[in-house]
Amino acid sequence: MPNPHNKKGLFQFYPHNLVWVGLSIVAIIIDQWTKWIASTHLNYADPVPVLPFLNWTLLHNYGAAFSFLSDAGGWQRYFFTSLAGLVSVIFVFWLMRMPKNMIVLPLAIALILGGAVGNLIDRVSLGYVVDFIHVYYNNSHFPAFNIADSAITLGTILLLIDTFFLEKHRIQRAEAQND
């Protein structure tokens, strides 16, 4: 968290946070590269077995996570594109203002940002998100997903860990320093 006693405005960025922006860019590159491989080497909806619980299966997701609202008539493309764009801008500002001693929170934000932008690129350029990772067990199938979805999920888990476990320690540490 930025020091409230050192108010330099909304645009006070810390150069050390470029590492986190770099991680977001790496997530975007890996996501787009793997989607390109899936799109050029897989046939649509034709599973390619990899492991007894994993297939590569090219699918197009017109909705949100796990195809939520995929059959809603088209408005969802613009809604999710706008939402991802807005959240990405907010996350860039938040990420660039992180103090140097934090690791988990900026890592979480960087992963969520990279995943959101990776899927945003698909929505803007293709009108849908490319999914290709298909996990299943017997007749139970998890909805297909991609690297961006994985980055968002991991980032969200880290964000929850930071919120529910690490934030309390930061507050206690700050209070101890003020006493």
Cβ-contact 123, 61 below 8 angstroms: no
- Token digits for 142? 């998890």
Task: Point out the catalytic residue in the list 31, 122, 149, 162.
Answer: 149
Residues 24, 11: Cα–Cα separation, whole Å: 20
Task: Point out the catalytic residue in the list 31, 46, 122, 131.
Answer: 131
- Token digits for 171? 């507050």
Question: Listing from the earlier edge strand, what are the strands of the sheet with 54-61?
Answer: 48-51, 54-61, 129-137, 140-141
Q: Is 179 a catalytic residue?
A: no
Indicate the residue type of 68: F
Best CA proximity match to 38, nearest among 141, 46, 54: 46
Token pair 């350029």 is found at 125
- Token digits for 155? 């980032």
Q: Is 131 a catalytic residue?
A: yes
User: Active-site residues: which are they?
Assistant: 131, 149
